[in-house]
Structure formats: C-alpha cells, structure tokens
Amino acid sequence: MLSPALALACSSPSTSDTPAGPGAPTAESSAAAVCDKEPAGPNAAPAGAVTVDPAVAGDLVTKTRNSPAGTTFWLAPGVHRIGDQKYDQVEPKDGDVYLGAPGAVLDGKQLNQYAFTGHASDVKIQHLTVQGFDAPRDEGVVNHDSGDGWLIEHNTFQRNGGAALMAGARQQVRGNCLRDNGQYGMNAYKGDGTITGLVVEGNEITGNNTDDWETKESGCGCTGGIKFWAVNGADVRGNWVHDNRGNALWADTNNNDFLIEGNVIENNDGAAIEYEASYNATIRNNTIRRNNWVDGRKYADRGDSFPVATIYISESGGEPRIPARTKTLDIEGNVLEDNWSGITLWENADRFCNSPANTSSGSCTLLVPGVDQCTQPGIETAPLLSDCRWKTQNVEIHDNRFTLDPTVLGCSVSCGRMGLLSNYGTYPDWSPYKGDVIQTAITEDQHNTWHDNTYVGPWTFVYGDTSQILDTFQWQGSPYLQDEGSTFARGNG
C-alpha cells in the first residue's frame, strides 16, 4: 500500500560505487528514499489553524476563499475532494499554509485539472498527498501559475496528469515523493522567464512520464523526471532520480547558473542529465548508474552512430558575460557506472537564434535581445556572428570515474563512447555557419577538455563527426591531446 505522506532525513548521498539491483534503494539514495516512508504530518490542528473536513466536499476551496491571507489550514485524515467540476481548484492567498494530517489525501478523481493555482507568494504545502488530478500536457497540478517563494516539502505527488509541480522564483522543493505522474515530476517553467533561486533537494523522483509523451508526439522533448526552462539559478542536490521514462534531469533553453550535486541518478530510460542551449553549470559528485539503456539501444538498433550520452551537453557551456557562480560548465567528481555511453559535447551547426532549425522556436540566446537581430547582413559580422549561437564551450570534464561492463548492458563497444562533435552546417541558405565552421570551433577553439579521469572498460571517443572514432591512444595523442593525466583499464567495470 502506498504511503499517503512521508518524512525525510535530508543529507547528501555519498559517492560509493557499489552496484545495486535496478529500482532498489542503495546506501547513497537512502537519504532521499522517501516514497514509502510513514507520514509525518501533525496529528492535530496547530493552534490557530483552520480545520478542513474531508467529509465536506469543497471544504478546502471554501475555507481558503473565506479566510484572510496567511491562514494555516490543517487537512484532517481522509480523502479530500475539491469539487465535481473540471476547473474547481484551490487559490491560496499570500502566506497561506496547508498541512496534511497523517492519512490526508487531496484527490482529483481524474475530474479536476488543478489542485493549487494562482499567483500568491510564500505559500507552504507540507505533509500532504496530492493525486488523481488531470492537468494537460506542459501544465502542472500544484503551483500551476508559478507563484513565487513557495515551500513544498514532505509531500507525495502521484498519479497526476501533466506535471505534478510547476515552479516559481525562490521555490524550495524538499523531501517530496514525485512519482508516476503522466508527464513530469516537475516542470520548472514560467512564461516570463523569471524563475531564480530554485532549490530541489532530497526528493525521490521516480516513474514519471507514464503517458509516454515521446511516443504520442515524437520529438516533442517533453518528458522525464524534471524539465527546467529559462531558470536562472538552481541547486539540485541530494535527490534520488530513478526509473523515469525519458531523461532524469533536463535543462532545456536559456538556463543558467545550475549546481547539480550529490544526486543518485539510476535506471532512467534516457540521459541522466541533459544540459541544452544553456549556460554556466557545475555537475559534481553525483552517482549515475544504468541510465540511457532504452534510448541508447534505440539508436543502436536503427544503425545511428551518434554517441547518445548519459550526460549530454548540447549547445551549452561556460559564458563569463552572463553572471553566475561559475564561468565554466564543470563536470567533476562523478561516478558513472554501466550507463549507455558517457559524456557527449555536441553543437548543432544549424541551430542558432532565428534559424528554422532551432527547436526552441522563438527563443534567442541570452546575449542577443531578440531574434530579429540575427538576420542578414548583421549576423555575418561581430558581435552577432558569435552571439547568435548557443555554444558548447568552456566545458571541463575531470576527476570522474567511468566504468563499463558491456556484458551487463548486452552491447558491443558502441555503448562505451564519449563524444566531442558537431554536424556539417547546411541550413538555412543564409546561415553563416555552413560547412565545418562549427566542427572546427567545438573541437579546437572553444576550450572543451577532458583530464584526470579514470576509465575502466572498452571506451572509445567520437571526435569531430560521427565517422571519426578514436581509441584511447589516439584520443590522448596529437593533435587531440585529450584526457591528460587520465588512466585507462580495459577490464570490465
């Protein structure tokens, strides 16, 4: 039986590389293994709190509407209903607090789309189970309108459509169970792009994308554990992210200043971490196991030689002109074990601001105010020639451990690759990046380096384009000169 609420001891995982069976909590993930812990909400209403009765349909909506800002609501044990209409929903006021008693469940019964909506700030939701809401794709059940300053902790959000959570500025998401939701555990997107200071800590994020959106809409890029869009400043630490359909953590388009550390990320169908068309990040001290088997095998089965990766850096890197805690994209101190391939640094020569090939349509880089500037003839010369591109640059990969036993994955050497590459620019006709311009830039001019790593297993390296595959001696030798100070062992992981 599923626990209706949960508790958390919020310590960061260690970096032991002891393997465990798929889906089983490990020593490292136990701090965030919250989904099946006993509830820990208050057994009685705190002094001054308004009691919400599960026997009265819509009691939470009514009492929220009739109470002043800053009210604390205690949801008594039982199953609470918002109402029988699609758009029945709770609209908190500034500073409202919602506390669940042990056994308090807010259930949308697949009738209601949203649980908590509106633009109130500094709302708290704690010790509550929220389930059975049917938000549409790309929308969220809790904090639907991305209110700022919300504290969301020690809750269970499960079996909802769309995303269980949306995010606002300064939102803290701590010690929650985000499981088995139709699209995402959380969709950190706000229309005006003002999400700053986001904290995601000590959560268990598992089994999301039950609706398998990539199958319904191929190439939608709309699935996984958590999706971040245009977030400026995020700490993602101490989470256990496992068994999601799609990517585990995906930062897509104009994110900046991310710290992703101390997470355990395992058994996800796609990449453990994808950082795309974004800037300035530190990815460190994560334990990353058995990810990307499903997506990697799809590429292999159709004969696609692209090094689909477990940490995938796409058109992203360090940019010192954009304020952040770091001026690089630093990947250090991680343990990667038996994933389908390792780290790929990729830049699409045809994807730039105002290009029809830009899948983040309508978006420009953070260095150019608007897409209308990235046109001929201005884009041919500085500064637009450089600034209209999202660049894979200033990426440093060091002091990581990569182990691979192909027999565990049931694959050949194709599942043990790193990549530093681009495509040959062809599109659109007016592009100033045709030919091998970007291939030369990403491999020779943009300061992308591997060094002081440890490798165990049959690793190879894709360089420049998918046709050029290097062994370890070539990779370290001239003219490539990568992985200085690194060690290689051919044995199994």
Q: What is the pLDDT of residues 307-319, one digit of tens each?
A: 999 999 999 999 9
Going from the N-terminus, what domains does the chain have, and what CATH number goes with each? 30-489 (2.160.20)
For the cut 60, the answer to whether the pLDDT of residue 13 exceeds it is: no
Higher pLDDT, 490 or 382: 382
With 0-12 / 13-18 / 19 or more C-beta atoms within 10 angstroms meaning exposed / middle / buried, residue 419 is buried
**Does 21 score more than 90 pLDDT?**
no
Please say whether the beta carbons of 206 and 244 come within 8 A. Answer: yes
Calculate what percentage of the chain has a pLDDT beyond 70.
92
Model pLDDT, residue 3 = 32
Q: How confident is the model at residue 215 (pLDDT cuts 50, 70, 90)?
A: confident
pLDDT at site 422: 98
The per-residue pLDDT for 466 is: 95
For residue range 30-64, list pLDDT tens digits in order.
668 899 886 689 999 999 999 999 999 999 999 99
Residues 223/196, Cβ–Cβ less than 8 Å: no
Residue 345: phi and psi, rounded to 5, are: -105, 120
Per residue in 358-396, pLDDT tens?
988 789 999 999 999 999 999 999 999 999 999 999 999
How many other CB atoms are found less than 10 A from the CB of residue 23? 12
Omega cis (within 30) before 428: yes
Contact criterion met (CB below 8 Å) for 493 and 405: yes
Banded model confidence at residue 252, pLDDT cuts 50, 70, 90: very high
pLDDT of 15 reads 34
Confidence (pLDDT) at 414 = 82
Instruction: Tell whether the model's pLDDT for residue 7 goes beyond 60.
Output: no
pLDDT in tens, 95-108: 999 999 999 999 99
CB 251 within 8 A of CB 2: no
- Residue 430's nearest CA partner among 380, 373, 487 is 380
Residue 37 has a pLDDT of 83
Query: In a 3-state reduction of DSSP, which class is residue 363?
Result: coil
What Cα–Cα distance (Å) separates residue 350 from each residue in 393, 427, 434? 17, 6, 8
pLDDT level of residue 412 (50, 70, 90 thresholds): confident
pLDDT band at residue 193 using 50, 70 and 90 as cut-offs? confident
Which range is most confident: 9-18, 196-205, 292-301, 359-368?
196-205
